[in-house]
C-alpha cells in the first residue's frame, strides 16, 4: 500500500500568516475532500488530521494499492 498526503495550505516554505477575513466563509469538509480527490485521484482516504491552530495545515492522507 502506498500513502500520499494532500496538504491544504502552505507551500513548504515560510509564508505570511493568513489574516482572518470577515467576508470569507469556511470551506466545507466535503469540498476539501473533493480537492484532495482531484489532486490525488484513485486512492481511499485513510485519515484526516485537523490543525491544532489556524497556523497549521489540514492534512488528508490517501492510501493507494500497489
Q: What is the model's pLDDT at position 13?
A: 47
Q: In what side-by-side order are the strands of the sheet with 2-8?
A: 2-8, 58-64, 44-49
Q: What is the pLDDT of residues 38-63, one digit of tens each?
A: 988 888 889 888 888 777 778 888 88
Q: What is the model's pLDDT at position 66?
A: 75
Pairwise pLDDT comparison (30 vs 66), residue with the higher score: 30
Q: What is the pLDDT of residues 4-43, one digit of tens each?
A: 555 555 444 444 555 566 676 778 889 988 988 998 888 8
Q: What is the model's pLDDT at position 4?
A: 56
Q: In the numeric block, which cell numbers belong to residue 37?
A: 480527490
CA pair distance 20, 54, nearest whole angstrom: 9
Amino acid at each position: 500500500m502506498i500513502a500520499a498526503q494532500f496538504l491544504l495550505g502552505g507551500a513548504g516554505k515560510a509564508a505570511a500568516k493568513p489574516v482572518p477575513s470577515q467576508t470569507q466563509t469556511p470551506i466545507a469538509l466535503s469540498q476539501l475532500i473533493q480537492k484532495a480527490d482531484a489532486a490525488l485521484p484513485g486512492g481511499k482516504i485513510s485519515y484526516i488530521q485537523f490543525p491544532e491552530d489556524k497556523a497549521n495545515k489540514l492534512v488528508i492522507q490517501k492510501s493507494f494499492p500497489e
